[in-house]
Amino acid sequence: MNFSSLGFFRSLRRDNKQFAVIGLGRFGRSVCSSLHRLGYEVLGTDIDEKRVAQAVTEQLVAHAVQLDSTELPALKEAGILEFDTVIVAIGNYLQESIITTLNLKEAGVPHVVAKASSEVHGKLLQRVGADHVVYPEYEAGSALARSLTQPSILDRFDLDPNHSIVEVSVPEEFHGKTITELQLRNRYGLNLLAIGQDERFEINPDPTKRLYKNWVMVVIGSNRDIDRLPI
């Protein structure tokens, strides 16, 4: 997440319990099943009747309707325009994805999230009013490349293009040393936020605490400084 998407996520209503997902491909189905598992009521729609039936059989959604989302009356009839948040999960059909997003925004749906399959697609979605655009293939590909090239970085939160919070395995070199001895701020320009072992984290750990190589640490700093860690 970055600053530009922060405004979008802040504007979502906390009491909203319902979502509509248009397009039941792999991405749309995954959004449906996760929302459903988290206890939200999901209306799934697709132009393909078989996909609609499958979503119901597999209990990915509470309700499912077959419709062509490029037709405004169909969206209206299915009650989709009343939803607070609608996810347009149509990646491969550019025209359909754009028209659907345009229809939803022109009809006043407050929050429209749309999946883009390319940069140009994403730009077009923003032009027609999408409130948040996601690039799942691009994001998954970048995450995979990062974990292949920096396997010690277990998790990462990008604050901006130059600064991050990362969860890393405690480097071999740090094994058995106290936090004071490591001098992370002086030597690396990094601040230690937490240390973790056995899936439990200690926030603002005591500086006298010793670190061990099977533990993890969470640090904040510039990417350049993070890259200097002996991991």
CA angle 127, 130, 134 (to 5 degrees): 110
Partners of 88 in beta bridges:
22, 114
Nearer of residues 60 and 226 to ligand ATP, judged by Cβ: 60
Shortest distance, position 37 Cβ to ligand ATP, whole Å:
18
Q: Is 101 in the site for ligand ATP (CB under 6 A)?
A: no
Which of 25, 189 has the CB closer to ligand ATP?
Answer: 25
CA distance 9 to 33: 20
Out of 8, 41, 54, 68, the residue judged to bind ligand ATP by CB under 6 A: 68
Q: Does 31 bind ligand ATP (CB under 6 A)?
A: no
Q: For residues 1 and 159, what is the distance between their CA atoms, to the nearest angstrom?
A: 8
Query: Smallest distance from the beta carbon of 187 to ligand ATP, in angstroms?
Result: 45
Q: How far is the CB of 126 from ligand ATP (least distance, A)?
A: 18
| Stretch in the footprint of ligand ATP (CB under 6 A) among 10-18, 44-52, 188-196, 222-230 | 44-52
Tokens for 204, please give them: 């603002």
Choose among 209, 129, 144: nearest CA to 177.
209
Binding residue for ligand ATP, selected from 19, 20, 27, 87, defined by CB under 6 A: 27
Is the Cβ of residue 21 or residue 218 nearer to ligand ATP in the bound state?
Answer: 21
The residues in 111-130 that bind ligand ATP, with binding defined as CB under 6 A, are 115, 117
Q: Establish if 69 lies at the interface with ligand ATP (CB under 6 A).
A: yes
- The verdict on 90 binding ligand ATP (CB under 6 A) reads yes
Is 89 one of the binding residues for ligand ATP (CB under 6 A)?
yes
Residues of this chain that bind ligand ATP (CB under 6 A): 22-28, 46-48, 51, 68-70, 89-93, 96, 115, 117
